[in-house]
Chain A
Amino acid sequence: MMSQEKIAKEMFLPAEVDATKSEEISKPSLNYWQDAWLRVKKNKGAIVSMVILVLLTIMALVGPLLTNYGIDQQNIKHNNLPPRIPVLEKVSWLPFDGDLTRKNGDVYNAYEMKNVDNYYWLGTDSLGRDIFTRLWKGTQVSLYIAFLAAAIDMVIGVLYGAISGFVGGKTDNFMQRITEILVGIPNLIVVILMIIVMDPGILSITIALTITGWVGMARVIRAQVLKLKSQEYVLAARTLGLSNGKIISKHLVPNLAGVIIINTMFTIPNAIFFEAFLSFIGLGLQPPLASLGTLIDDGFKVLQLYPYQMIIPAIVISLIMICFNMVADGLRDALDPKMRD
């Protein structure tokens, strides 16, 4: 039923239209980055992921220094000890009490059995090395490879794409044919072949990852540059006599920044995955170096007896991958002009 409330007559008067007021800017004007930041802030997943990533990066840098154990310091008597953390070991439902389960279901305390007084926060591996130290060192190496690969991809890809798009004509045609062929080559195969030829190491893995990695970036940048260089403001700048270099640095690069960042953010988890993948099929870093991939690979070998050795690095790599993907998704939504409403 309609409500019987009486509406005052003044409510039906035409509203006053003040042209000066309707044109008034009520909010502070925002530039591209402020606007993007507002959008990112709304995306809770991306913000949480960013915080987690910062924490993980800090831990990767300071983590190995927090314990008294070196990354390759072995103590055979203390091998395969499960995680034990002071104070937390009293909390029965947390897996930090140093207990292990035998195959027949018996639970025993590995520390008491081996007469060990030390605390290994995340346990030790089959050679008696402290997993906490190795885990963060491994995270450090994995992140390092990923950032380096992403940076190299970015530089080569942006240069290649920008030159191809900006110069145009025959140069563009020629450069495009090359990328078309490179795109057809599965990068998995190139990476594996390169590693077989070069000895596995941090640098060779990075190089292998970047050999075909830049193609995606180059194609996106070229498409963007082609679109941007025919815009009116570039024409205006050219008419006013701006040099090519100035046009690139003043007009093109700022407009490309969003695309570059989004692409780089997707490259990083990809590189982390490939590094771990290579380690897993036996083409990764050689001991005593550790990366998340080699830790998972080592842990996998003793998965049935000492599951924590694989689960701990698995959690860290999954966290990193999830967070990078979430941040990249968030940034894409925030920076992609097509998504603007």
Chain B
Amino acid sequence: MAKYLTQRFVYMVITLFLIASLTFFLMKIIPGTPFSNASKLSEAQLSIMIDKYGLDEPVPVQYANYLLNLLKGDLGVSFQFNNVGVTDIIVNSMGPSATLGALAILFGTFFGIILGVISALKQNTWVDYSSTFIAVLGKSIPSFVFAGLLQYYVGVKLGWFPVAFWRGPEYMVLPTIALAMFPLATASRFVRTEMIEVMESDYITLAKAKGASWFEIAFKHALRNALIPVVTVLGPLVVSLMTGSLVIEKIFGIPGIGEQFVKSITINDYPVIMGTTLLFAALFVVVILIVDLLYGVIDPRIRLAGGKK
């Protein structure tokens, strides 16, 4: 286990280092300086700015400085917002993104599991077919298309929920639904397949023979084992949430990291782009690692260090 952990950790560090370097050099390749759209600056001001951000130093020195600052958790200073540290920007916009992501994954997986269990128990009935249909829609329709349609039909036409912004619980409903569709679809498919398999195993037959109720069999005996493989899709789910959050936050005007990222792309705010990129990458590798470890903890039949497939 310890060996496996160290190995994974080394890979994680290498990956993050590569991404950090990649973002740094890519940002250096882009023609023009970050100040090219600030035409009001005089020559003297420009040289002060360049000096201040260390842009006149040779690239290797800049690179070394950048990496050193990274280790200290300093992601640099935003070019567009006066003297605001990128770290501060990210910390400030983390709240809404985290809330939205957590809500989406909670609701998505919860309803996905329920849908999956129901369609497994009612296999090949209209319930099963309609939940399959929902899952196909949820997996296929891009989240921004779904969000746009929700916004128009539920927000504008029916007026049930606020169309945009982030001011209270009722504002969270539409973005959560839009973002939760993918986790819901994925979870329901997975749970269905696993449930059908588990329901055929001997211990379920035994439970039935002993006269356990339908509810007990489904939720106490079958679901527990059916849920184990679902943990493996949590990784891709979190990734899809990150992708989704970029557009969902833009559509609904939620002041989160995704919206910040999209905005910084349009205004060429390189330090913010680099910072958010690194944050996304770090989140990604950490989540994948946690999911892998969780899998070993939940299912004792899998031993990560020794009998890894």
Which A residues fall within an 8 A CB radius of B? 180-181, 184-186, 188-190, 192-194, 196-197, 269, 273, 276-277, 280-283, 296, 300, 303-304, 307, 310-311, 314, 317-318, 321-322, 324-326
Contacts and interface: CB of A to CB of B under 8 A. Distances in A.
A60 to B, nearest CB: 18
B9 to A, nearest CB: 12
Contacts of A304: 152, 156
A43 B15 CA distance: 42
Contacts of A277: 142, 144, 243, 246-247
Contacts of B23: 193
Contacts of B137: 318, 322
B142 A273 contact: yes
Interface residues of B, number: 41
B149 A193 contact: no
Contact of B265 (A196, A276, A303, A321): A196
A276 B142 contact: yes
Interface stretch (B60-68, B79-87, B276-284): B276-284
Given A188-B280, A282-B265, A303-B151, A193 B144 contact: no
19 contacts: A186-B239, A186-B280, A189-B19, A189-B277, A193-B23, A196-B26, A273-B142, A277-B144, A280-B250, A281-B246, A282-B265, A282-B266, A303-B148, A303-B156, A314-B145, A314-B148, A314-B149, A318-B141, A318-B145
A161 B239 CA distance: 24
B148 A193 contact: no
Nearest to A192: B265
Nearest to B31: A197
Given A193-B22, A300-B144, A324-B140, 12 more contacts: A184-B284, A184-B288, A185-B19, A185-B281, A186-B242, A194-B26, A277-B142, A280-B144, A296-B145, A296-B148, A304-B156, A314-B148
A280 B247 contact: yes
When A and B form their complex, which 5 residue pairs have the shortest distance between CB atoms, in order from nearest? Answer: A184-B15, A321-B140, A322-B140, A186-B284, A314-B145
A323 to B, nearest CB: 8
Contacts of A185: 15, 18-19, 281, 284
A196 B15 contact: no
Interface string B51-82: 00000000000000000000000000000000
Candidate in B26, B137, B142, B281 with the most chain A CB atoms within 10 angstroms: B142
Contacts of B149: 311, 314
Nearest to B22: A193
A138 to B, nearest CB: 14
Given A184-B284, A193-B26, A300-B148, A269 B140 contact: yes
Contact of B30 (A196, A280, A318): A196
Contact of A181 (B11, B152, B277): B11
Contacts of B281: 185-186, 189
B108 to A, nearest CB: 18
B247 A188 contact: no
B239 A325 contact: no
A197 B288 CA distance: 28
Interface in B249-306: 250-251, 262, 265-266, 273, 277, 280-281, 284-285, 288
A277 B30 CA distance: 22
Contacts of B242: 186, 188
A314 B144 CA distance: 10
B141 A322 contact: yes
Looking at chain A's contact residues, the main secondary structure is: helix
A303 B29 CA distance: 37
B139 interface: yes
Given A193-B26, A304-B152, A281 B262 contact: yes
A281 B266 CA distance: 9
Nearest to B285: A184
Contacts of B140: 269, 318, 321-322, 324-325
Give the residue among B14, B19, B23 with the most A Cβ atoms within 10 A: B19
B12 interface: yes
Contacts of B98: none
B156 to A, nearest CB: 6
B70 to A, nearest CB: 16
Interface string B1-22: 0000000000110110011001
B145 A281 contact: no
B136 A197 contact: no
B292 to A, nearest CB: 12
Contact of A184 (B12, B243, B250): B12
B66 to A, nearest CB: 15
A304 B148 CA distance: 10
A304 B288 CA distance: 40
Given A276-B142, A318-B145, A281 B247 contact: yes
Nearest to A193: B26
Contacts of A300: 144, 148, 251
A184 B26 CA distance: 19
Given A197-B26, A281-B265, A296-B148, A322 B136 contact: yes
